[in-house]
Amino acid sequence: MRAALDGRGRVGLVPTMGYLHEGHAALIRRARQTTDRVVVSVFVNPLQFGKNEDLGRYPRDLERDLRVAGEAGADVVFHPEPDLMYPAGFASTVQVAGVSEPLDGAARPGHFAGVATVVLKLLNLVQPTQAFFGEKDWQQLAVVRRMVADLNVPAEIVGVPTVRADSGLALSSRNSYLSPEQQAQATALSAALRGVQEAYAAGERDVAVLKRIGLDILGRDSAVQPEYLSVVGPDLTEPAVLSAHPLNRVLVAARVGGVRLIDNLPLLPASASGLGRADAPL
């Protein structure tokens, strides 16, 4: 893989599971700004899907992926087959303790081991200077950063703010499962996050109060089935009272029409620019 890049200049990697949308395009454009060669990987990673999850029906459209990647500025699209990534006899996985354990780690056992394993393989194959991840998967970003720091991987991990529809719904490949009515219902997730964000900006620091505000908003629509709404500090644990930190976050997972969606927003003081209008970059 690395030979295809001619060994010239800074290399940016954008790991994806395909079915690219504007959120992925934003990652590619960000990579284009700071690196000389941009690689987009398209690989639906079986290791990060649990039993009864949607591996078989996860949306796939390589022709669309090639078009979106090219228009956004990618130089190379790496689309390996599962047998290349996990050949016969493959027996190694990467476990990242701590940040991988709560939230989606508890809801989807084994998920982050699959994420960490495939990301490390991609980093080894491409050897990028920087790798770009969307902040919508905030816990995934934290897991990858911890792994890279712990294992001395010589790549900078860059978080890119979530891209949203005009309705506030975070863009996701899984949104393709939703009907127009369900997409409207799914905006309850971002509305709940904004409610918590605004209360925090107004001075509320009691985590139980902040969570109740968000859950009350989610509860207004019976079509939305929350799995968790969590207010966390930089280590992704949930204290009783939040101390000031730029990595404080409110995260949510919920099902709409049986489709599992996740989202998050930063918790920043009222003086922080952009509060309530967009995600804040790391």
Point out the catalytic residue in the list 24, 79, 111, 245: 24
- pLDDT for 5 equals 72
pLDDT at 21 over 80: yes
Residue 245 annotated in active site? no
Q: What is the pLDDT, as a whole number, of residue 237?
A: 96
pTM beyond 0.75: yes
Return the pLDDT at 155: 98
pLDDT in tens, 252-272: 999 999 999 999 999 999 876
> What integer best gives the mean pLDDT of the chain?
94
pLDDT digits (tens, 9 = 90+) for 142-152: 999 999 999 99
Domain boundaries for CATH 3.30.1300.10 within the chain:
173-266
Question: Residues of CATH 3.40.50.620 domain(s) within the chain?
Answer: 2-160
Mean pLDDT of 166-180: 98
Matching CATH number, 173-266, of 3.60.21.70, 3.30.1300.10, 3.40.50.1370, 3.40.50.720: 3.30.1300.10
The architecture of the domain spanning 2-160 is 3-Layer(aba) Sandwich (3.40)
CA proximity to 246, closest of 221, 208, 279, 199:
279
